[in-house]
Structure formats: C-alpha cells, structure tokens
C-alpha cells in the first residue's frame, strides 16, 4: 500500500471517528454518561470495521448475487481480466458473474492479492472487446487504489453513526424531549442526530464519486483507450436508465452495492449529484476527454 493511500485511509478514519465521537458524546450527555457512550461508539465502529475489512469481499459477492466462475465457464471474460491484470502488474483476480440482462461490472476485495472482478452475464453482448477491456481497467483501478477498503471503512463508520443517530431520535421520540437523567439539551441531541449522520453520508458519497473519477482515469490510461471507456459508460448508462433494477425484487442485487458498480443500476434518472454515489455521465465524459487530450488522443 502506497503512502498516499495509507494517508487517505487514515484521514478518512480520523474524520469519521471524530463524527462518531461527537454523536456518541451528544447521546451520552443526554443520558448523563457521555464518555461511556463515546467508548461504546468506538467499540461499535471497531467491530464494524473489522468485519468489513476481513469479510467485505464475501459479503459483497453474496449481496450482489454474483457467482465465482472458472475459466472454462467464460474464457472471453477471463482473457480480458488476465490481460488487464498483467498490464497493471497485479495477481490474477478471481472472476465472478452476475446473472442480469443489464451490462455492468464491479470489483471487490481489500487489495490486489484479494481482488474479485465481477461482470454481468450480458456485458459481452453489449460491449465491444475494446470497451470491455476499458471497463475492466476501471475496475482494476479500484483494486489498485484500495477503493473497496476505503468505501468499506466509510460505509461501516457511516452506518455506525446512523445507527447511533437513530437511537438518539427514538430516545427523543419515546422520551418526549424530557431529559431527567442527564445534563444535555434535547435540542443539541436532535441537532447531532440529524446533522452528524448527514455529514457522514456526504463524506461517504463524496469518496465514492472521487473514486469513480480516479478509476476512470486509471482505466483509460492503463488500456490507452479513454474513448472505449466513454462509449462503454454511455451504453451501460443508457441500459440502466431505460430499465433500472427494482431494489424490491427478490432476485435483484442489494442496493447496498450501488456504489461498487461502474454505473449505478438502481435508478433510471440522475438525482442531484451531491446525493449520488456516482458522478454524472456528462462529468465523467468531460474528464475522460481531458485525459485523452493529455495522452494526445483525439475524441470527438
């Protein structure tokens, strides 16, 4: 792991830990035991992060309904993944398939030695070989940059903060705003219960969007094909918008995996980008065209 990646993870953990301690203190102050609640919040976050670090890949594979396959089951996909992994000088990742009519792909695992690259069953019929290689390059970029580890830390910490925020809101609701045991203000608790989880969510989503930009750039440069990645994103986005996955379907991947896919498959129309797991297609295309110019490649 490079020093810059280590620094980013440490900074992320420090910021989210600070938010976690803040909401733990506010809840504890309301009940008269601020430091006890802060300690409990840290233990909860530590447990969540331990589980996400060691088991995130298996959990993601299960939630996405992916199946780990052998080379004989899809030699074309294996060939592309192996080629891109060799270019990136990392070990061959495991390969998975998600049975879906919508083209898409994602990567999981905490690093290059524990990586899994998954694609949907329809991606080979939708993308050209060059476009598929560019998409796999994007996913290998996530692996190289430890983005899954970063997103796991962000998701688990944000989840712990939201969990404590829900406890605070239920305490206010059931207690009617009357504080008989502690010295904290109900208004302070209410503000913390709303604003701190919101801030953690913004950080989580901001990291997700930044990771997508970085993976786009990495994949375009690794495969030397930013144009192929642009057309792949356009095709995948068009399919996702015309036929988004219903999150209520028992056969659909879990919406919790939305940030991992190269294009969010769970909605047909873009929301305000501030609240989105992915940058808009227009912004991604403009960034990739800039990368192409830096590589002295022309994209109309």
Phi (first) and psi of residue 184, to 5 degrees = -85, 155
Helices and strands in the chain: count of H runs, count of E runs: 9, 4
- Nearest CA to 49 out of 12, 81, 78 is that of 12
- Helix orientation angle between 281-294 and 226-242, rounded to the nearest 10 degrees: 170
Query: In 176-270, where does DSSP find H-type helix?
Result: 186-223, 226-242
* Residue found under tokens 């901001």: 206
What is the sign of the dihedral through the CA atoms of 273, 51, 106 and 148? positive
Q: Is 139 a residue of the active site?
A: yes
Residues 118 and 109: their CA atoms lie apart, in Å, by 11
Helices of type H across 65-185 = 75-88, 123-126, 129-144, 147-175
Q: Which of 139, 212, 217, 294 is catalytic?
A: 139
Give the C-alpha separation, 83 to 91, whole Å: 11
- Which residues carry out catalysis? 139
């Amino acid at each position: 792991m490079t020093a810059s990646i280590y620094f980013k993870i440490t900074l992320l953990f420090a910021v989210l830990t600070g938010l976690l301690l803040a909401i733990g203190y506010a809840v504890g102050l309301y009940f008269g035991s601020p430091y006890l609640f802060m300690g409990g919040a840290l233990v909860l976050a530590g447990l969540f992060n331990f589980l996400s670090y060691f088991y995130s890949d298996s959990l993601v594979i299960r939630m996405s309904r992916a199946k780990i396959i052998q080379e004989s089951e899809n030699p074309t996909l294996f060939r592309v993944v192996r080629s891109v992994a060799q270019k990136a000088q990392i070990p061959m990742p495991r390969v998975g398939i998600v049975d879906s009519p919508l083209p898409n792909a994602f990567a999981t695992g905490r690093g290059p030695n524990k990586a899994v690259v998954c694609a949907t069953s329809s991606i080979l019929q939708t993308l050209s070989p060059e476009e598929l290689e560019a998409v796999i390059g994007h996913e290998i970029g996530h692996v190289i940059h430890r983005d899954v580890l970063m997103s796991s830390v962000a998701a688990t910490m944000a989840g712990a903060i939201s969990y404590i925020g829900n406890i605070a809101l239920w305490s206010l609701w059931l207690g009617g705003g009357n504080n008989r045991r502690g010295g904290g203000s109900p208004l302070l608790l209410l503000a913390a219960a709303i604003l701190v989880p919101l801030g953690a969510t913004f950080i989580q989503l901001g990291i997700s969007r930044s990771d997508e930009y970085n993976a786009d750039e990495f994949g375009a440069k690794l495969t030397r094909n930013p144009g192929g990645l642009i057309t792949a994103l356009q095709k995948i986005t068009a399919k996702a918008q015309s036929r988004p996955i219903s999150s209520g379907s028992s056969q659909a991947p879990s919406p919790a995996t939305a940030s991992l896919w190269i294009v969010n498959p769970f909605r047909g129309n873009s929301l305000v980008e501030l609240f989105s797991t992915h940058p808009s297609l227009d912004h991604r295309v403009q960034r990739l065209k800039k990368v192409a110019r830096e590589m002295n490649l022309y994209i109309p």
